[in-house]
Structure 1
Amino acid sequence: MRLAAISTPDGWAIGAVEPDLASVRVAAPSLGTVDDVVRGRVTVQEVVDHLRDVPASALSGVTLGSPVQQFNRDVLCTGWNYLDHFFESEGKREGQDPEKLPEHPTFFTKGPDTVVGPSDPIAFDERISAKWDYEAEIALVIGRDGRSIREEDAWSYVFGYMVANDVSQRDLQRAHGGQWLKGKSIDDTMPLGPWLTTADEVENFGTLQITCELNGELLQNASASDMAFSVPRIIAELSRGMTLRAGDVILTGTPSGIGNAREPAIFLAQGDVVVTRVDGLGEMRNVMTATALVESS
């Protein structure tokens, strides 16, 4: 299924996007939310049964939010997970580790207040940063609790997948000791969606194609098969001694083509239209929108 968060006058409701990706069946808000399905409080079968006699409506006529809206913790992220992205950044990391190709996945987190919906504006305040960058990614959602998960069992812990854009502020990444949290956690800057595609809908994860367009220009284009560390490896290493819980969101890394690595560099500006797409998972279209993120001095 493709589970969408649909805004209604009575609150967020579960939407099941039809295979044509043009229509959706919307459940009564009383059934629960997508978060409830991920955590097992509402089963997929209950959603199917509830929607059996509900007529489909045009997807263009509803407002989509981030499918995941309740977070157990920060969003969990994987860095340097595409070799081409690692090598394109050589000489431009400004002291940030790693200095050589990592032997293990690199992990960091970003605050959940970054999350916005698939067509929401991306907050932009030039007083915060002069180097706003895009990062198209595949996000996965954990579907059941587990600790020290074995690689051979890891796929069974994945509930589904979303598209993400890990918008980053490169100068903030460098300004705070080389760590990434601050430069990845500005409010209302990470689109997530457009819906949550359950794992059974993705026959071959490695064939997923990730793209990012800025004002109509294709800047990122890669296959999930290019990942340095596979999804099972990410889950196994991240969960070693650390419990992953249903509803946790894990970003799996961005491919080459980021703005900071280009010559000349390309950074996001007010009014820019960013389209992030993963074939089979959907498309997000967001506009960089002037927002007061700090008080005027």
Structure 2
Amino acid sequence: MKLVRFGPKGAEKPGMIDGQGTLRDLSGVIDDVAGDVLLPAGLAKLAGLDAATLPTVPGTPRLGPCVGRIGKLVCIGLNYSDHAAEAGVAPPAEPVIFLKANSSICGPDDPILLPRGSQKTDWEVELAFVIGKGGRYIEEADWADHVAGYCVCNDVSERAYQLESTGQWTKGKSADNFAPLGPWLVTADEIADPQALDLWLDVDGVRQQAGNTGTMIFPVREIIAYVSRFMTLEPGDVISTGTPPGVGMGKKPPTYLRKGQTVTLGVDGLGAQRQAVIDWDDRPL
């Protein structure tokens, strides 16, 4: 299944993309793509629906983040050896964990907002996965029991805030609209192998990143086991798994986003995103 959330920011409704690509309204069945809906029983209920009986949604409404009421957005840094090399650091011996503020989460086609004074806002296409059944100290062998599905994430980053002066990754990763999620949540049964997916990102139509999740240092199964050693994972939590090489920071010379540019990105089988780059003070209110 492809589950979506559509409508104005803060008032999104749950939906489903049917086999013909039509957006169907799920608000008569569930209140949101969130919480217990993401448990195995909740997803089984949705899978049993006849999509043709659900109301169609006219037009092309805005898509919100594909998961609602996210408890936490956990990210894995430097998870591709080539990306670690372009960042000038050795590949990590253990997963690097950081959090993005939930206020950074936005829809897949919402604009990237350049913070006031930003000169080094960067792009990062990533595979993200959503927790269904939660848990603590999850065994690596049981990882698949805990994944509700997968989606695309752009881990937008302000490198000066992240790495310069006092640094701090969370500070550099958490500005508003720095975590577009979607366009849809693809349930785990549709992704045969999360370690065999191509990722790509373009800026103004020029390819900047091209990679494959098979080159991750720590695959999804290891990430779940490792992260759950340090915190309880709950239904609807999102974990973004790192980016392949080709970020702006790694260019020679470094190249960062500017007002007026357009970023497009995607992951095989999970859809694509498109974001206009605008200044914070030009954001739609």
In structure 2, the partner of 1:115 is 105
Provide, for residues 48-98 of structure 1, a one-character-per-residue CA deviation record: whole Å limited to 9, x for no partner. Answer: 43744125456x62321101231223x1000110011011121xxxxxxxx
**Partner residue, 1:77:** 75
1:124 aligns with one of 103, 114, 128? 114
Q: Could you tell which deviates more after superposition, 187-196 or 210-219?
A: 187-196
CA drift at 1:4: 0.5
Correspondence for 2:144: 155
Q: Give the corresponding residue for 1:35.
A: 34
* Alignment of 1:197 onto 2:200: no
Question: Partner residue of 1:7?
Answer: 7
Q: Is the Cα contact below 8 Å between 1:35 and 1:67 reproduced in 2?
A: no
Q: Give CA-to-partner distance per residue, 1:102-156, whole Å, 9 cap, x none.
A: 21111111101001101111112342x2101000001110101111111111121
**Equivalent-residue separation in structure 2 for 1:183 and 1:273 (angstroms):** 21
The one-letter code matched in structure 2 to 1:31 is: I
- Aligned partner of 2:22 in structure 1 is 23
- 1:102 paired with 2:92, answer yes
Aligned-pair distance for 1:16?
A: 1.2
- In 1, Cα distance between equivalents of 2:170 and 2:80: 20
Preserved CA contact (<8 Å) 1:10 1:29: no
The alpha-carbon distance between structure 1 residues 39 and 176, as it changes in their structure 2 partners (threshold 3 A), is farther
Partner secondary structure for residue 267 of structure 1: coil
CA distance in 2, matches of 1:26, 1:222: 34
Q: Secondary structure at the match of 1:292?
A: helix
Equivalent position of 2:134 in the other structure: 145
Which residues of structure 2 form unaligned runs of 5+? Answer: none
Q: TM-score, normalised by structure 1?
A: 0.88
Aligned residues, how many? 282
Q: Aligned letter for 1:113?
A: S
Aligned Cα root-mean-square deviation (Å) = 2.4
Deviation per CA, 1:28-67: give whole Å up to 9, x if none.
3563111142257954424643744125456x62321101
Match of residue 62 from structure 2: 63
